[in-house]
Amino acid sequence: MKKRQLYTHMKTKAELTVYDAVAKGIAFDVQKDTCTAITIHPSNKSVNGVYLTMYPGWKKL
């Protein structure tokens, strides 16, 4: 599992870190020290290209 992307919320300035196990098809969203989401995605495809549209207001850093 690797840290794949960091996002910031455009209004609140909160940070969201995405950790993705690409080969296994699972990703975790973490804010501060809390897991806020688990995403299941196709194996061997990064979650970053799939899910950002689910979270309006977040911008890649």
Please give the pLDDT value at position 53: 57
Q: Mean per-residue pLDDT for 30-36?
A: 94
Structural domain boundaries in the chain: 2-43
Instruction: List, for residues 5-28, the tens digit of each pLDDT value.
Output: 888 999 999 999 999 999 999 999
Q: Mean per-residue pLDDT for 41-50?
A: 84
19 DSSP 8-state letter: E
Q: Cα-flanking dihedrals φ and ψ of residue 52, to 5°?
A: -55, -30
